[in-house]
Amino acid sequence: MNPSADPDLNPQSQLPDRLVKQAVRYAHHREVNWDDLPPMMRHYVETKAQNPNALLLYRMGDFFECFFEDAITVARELELMLTSKESGKNVGRVPMAGVPQKALDTYAARLVEKGFALYRDWETDRKSTRLNSSHSRASRMPSSA
């Protein structure tokens, strides 16, 4: 069976064309051999595996990024551009969507209002915060240093 033909196996096919910037090889973090990933992306998929029911927002510089299936969900729910990130020669590009750190409170509140649980992780200092969909102060997530 061709995974790209089944929308459940290829969530990218659920997005309007205007939201998809580049085609990617892997749409779900479990499809990838984690040993083939660079250290940052390996940390992302390990953290995602520990928090499978939450959207993982990963701090990279001035943005909070999502990858794989979370990027597809965030792009669809927030009507953001779905782009991609190079993740090593054996993996290629993976889905990516992100929001500026300064706008995180607004976007996080919208996702929580839609019923999503969020998990926020910082790439630089490995701090993390878990927010449940019932968390009433999602728009007041502690800001990073």
Range of the domain at 61: 20-137
Look at residue 132 and tell me if it is in a domain.
yes
Nearest in space to 103 (alpha carbons), one of 111, 95, 92: 111
Residue type, 15: L
pLDDT tens, position by position, 109-130: 999 999 999 988 755 444 444 4
* pLDDT computed for residue 12 by the predictor: 55
Query: pLDDT-based confidence at 70, cuts 50/70/90?
Result: very high
* CATH code, domain with 98: 3.40.1170.10
Look at residue 43 and tell me if it is in a domain.
yes
